[in-house]
Amino acid sequence: MRIKKHLIDGSIITIMSLLLMCCGRVALPSEAEVSQEMCSCYQAQKGGDIDARMKPCLEVLNARLAETAQLQSQPDTVALQTFLYQVLSDMVLSCDAFGAELSSMYDNFYPPDTSAANRASIQALARELSATSTPDSTKKLLHKLITKSMEARLFEQGLQYCARLKEVDPNEVAAYFASGYAYNQQGKYDLAAGEIEKAISLDKETHMEIFLALIKRHQETSQSKP
């Protein structure tokens, strides 16, 4: 099981390539202001997938930031990347069209597979795990079991395998990410956020703050239902 650093890899790459081609250290506008502009642009796009609809909006953002860019030989890429993820996180909560689509992508981060074949595969892997004693083999099998359990929507079982993976390696970011996903799917949003926060503390470079925004959106949506 490998963690995707973000749900819209193509869009983030587009942002970074566009901005870093023209900009050094950027005098950044407010996150709320940019997310509102991006939302209006996104909602105006009528066709294509999320990357296709984001691309023209990112080009507008590129031009806007270029106006205030202070060209330097060494761009402040860390600050810029952090700002962009903060904008996207704000959009998850404030831009309904964008947030709804990204939430759907998060729900299907582990594509559903409730087939008998998948359950049989889980049982076979569990037998293999019980016969394994080496740490490396144990970790590999636990990763597979977590993924397949999440796909089978066997969240309690998946959480048990996550707990075992944490015992084998307390710094295994994937275990906390998967636990957060399972708790979110179960509607246990505080527990979900806690797991993602732990993952962030272990690996800040993955910028998983956007998953916290998605969990908060799920919680707000569930609370608004009659």
Domain end point (choices 107, 134, 153): 107
Range(s) of the domain holding residue 132: 116-224
pTM of the model: 0.82
Instruction: Specify the residue for token string 């015992």.
Output: 167
Residue 69 lies in a domain: yes
Supply the pLDDT for residue 224: 75
Provide the residue-wise pLDDT of the chain in tens; the chain has 226 residues. Answer: 433 444 444 444 444 444 444 444 445 677 788 889 889 999 999 888 888 888 888 887 777 666 555 444 445 566 767 778 888 899 999 999 999 999 999 999 999 999 999 999 999 999 999 999 899 999 999 999 999 999 999 999 999 999 999 999 999 999 999 999 999 999 999 999 999 999 999 987 777 889 999 999 999 988 876 6
Q: Are residues 204 and 123 in the same domain?
A: yes
Q: Are residues 156 and 199 in the same domain?
A: yes
Supply the pLDDT for residue 121: 98
Q: Are residues 140 and 210 in the same domain?
A: yes
Contact 94, 37 (CB under 8 A): no
Q: Are residues 163 and 69 in the same domain?
A: no
**Domain CATH code at residue 219:** 1.25.40.10
- Domain count for the chain, please give it: 2
